[in-house]
Amino acid sequence: MLRRELKARAACLLEQEALGNGAGLDCRAPIPPFGGGTGRARTDEKILQAYVSLLSGIPGVCGAFNVHQLGYEDDCPDPTGGRFDLFDLKVCIFDDHRNAISDLLEVAFPSAPVCGDGRVGGDEECDDGNDVDTDACRNDCTLATCGDGVVCSDPSCTSGPGGGVEQCDDGNDVDTDACLSDCSAARCGDG
C-alpha cells in the first residue's frame, strides 16, 4: 500500500520534473477530501486505491483482540475525547501512512535543493558535495570569488591572481592594505 502510493507520486514527480514547474502538477499535494489533488487524475486515482487497500485491510470488527492493546491511543488520541475505537485506529494508521509517504518523497525527491548533496539545483551556483570551504565551491554552494573573505587554496580555484590559488582574501577591494583587490599579497613596490 505504501509502495503503491510512493510509486504513483514518484512517477508524477518525474513527469513534473520533465515538463518543468509550469506543468500545473503538485505531486506532493493531498488528494480530496484532504486537499485539491495533484493535478493529475491518474495519480490521484492510484493514491486513492492505495488508501482504500490500506484501510480495507483492517477488519470492520475486531472481536479477537482489544483495540486498546495496540497502544495507538497514546499517539493518536480520539479527537472528540471519547473512547478510542476502530474508526480512530483507521484514522491513525491513515495519518501515519500519509506522513511516511511525505517523508520518503522528501528523501527521494527533495522539494528544495540541498546544498552539499553533490547535485546543482535551484539557485546553487555549484555543489561539490563536500564541506570544504576553501575550494572552488563554497559551503553555501556559491562559487569562490576573490573578495568573498575566504582564501581559496585549492588548485581548482579560478579567482586567484592569474586564475589560481588565492594568496589572500580579506573580503574588500582596498589596494592599500596587506591583501590587494586581486587576492594577491601586497609587496614592496607594487604601487
pLDDT computed for residue 170 by the predictor? 93
**Do 156 and 82 share a structural domain?**
no
Q: How confident is the model at residue 125 (pLDDT cuts 50, 70, 90)?
A: very high
Residue 46 burial class via C-beta count within 10 angstroms: exposed 0-12, middle 13-18, buried 19 and up: buried
Among candidate residues 87, 108, 129, the one where a domain is terminated: 108
pLDDT computed for residue 24 by the predictor? 73
Among candidate residues 86, 108, 130, the one where a domain is terminated: 108
Among candidate residues 108, 133, 160, the one where a domain is terminated: 108
**Do 91 and 142 share a structural domain?**
no
**Do 79 and 147 share a structural domain?**
no
Cβ within 8 Å of residue 4, ≥6 positions away: 46, 49, 50, 53
On the question of pLDDT at 56 being above 80, the answer is: no
**Do 25 and 55 share a structural domain?**
yes
Q: Comparing 40-49, 115-124, 158-167, which segment has the lowest mean pLDDT?
A: 158-167
pLDDT computed for residue 169 by the predictor? 92
**Do 96 and 123 share a structural domain?**
no
**Do 96 and 20 share a structural domain?**
yes
Q: How confident is the model at residue 59 (pLDDT cuts 50, 70, 90)?
A: low
**Do 132 and 94 share a structural domain?**
no
Query: In terms of residue numbers, what domain contains 175?
Result: 116-191
pLDDT computed for residue 173 by the predictor? 87
**Do 68 and 50 share a structural domain?**
yes
CA 184 vs CA 21, 128, 150: distances in Å: 44, 25, 13
**Do 165 and 124 share a structural domain?**
yes
The total domain count for the chain is 2
Three-state DSSP state, 98:
helix
pLDDT computed for residue 177 by the predictor? 92
Residue 162 C-alpha from the chain's centroid: 38
**Do 68 and 26 share a structural domain?**
yes
The residue type of 28 is: R
pLDDT computed for residue 156 by the predictor? 78
Q: What is the DSSP letter of 23?
A: G
**Do 120 and 93 share a structural domain?**
no
Residue 184 burial class via C-beta count within 10 angstroms: exposed 0-12, middle 13-18, buried 19 and up: middle
Query: Over the stretch 24-53, which tens digit does the pLDDT of each residue have?
Result: 778 888 888 778 888 889 999 998 888 888
Nearest in space to 94 (alpha carbons), one of 130, 42, 58: 58
**Do 96 and 16 share a structural domain?**
yes
The pTM is what?
0.48
Please answer whether residues 53 and 7 qualify as being in contact, where contact means their C-beta atoms are separated by less than 8 angstroms.
Answer: no
Cβ within 8 Å of residue 36, ≥6 positions away: 26, 29
CA 26 vs CA 4, 42, 73: distances in Å: 18, 13, 33
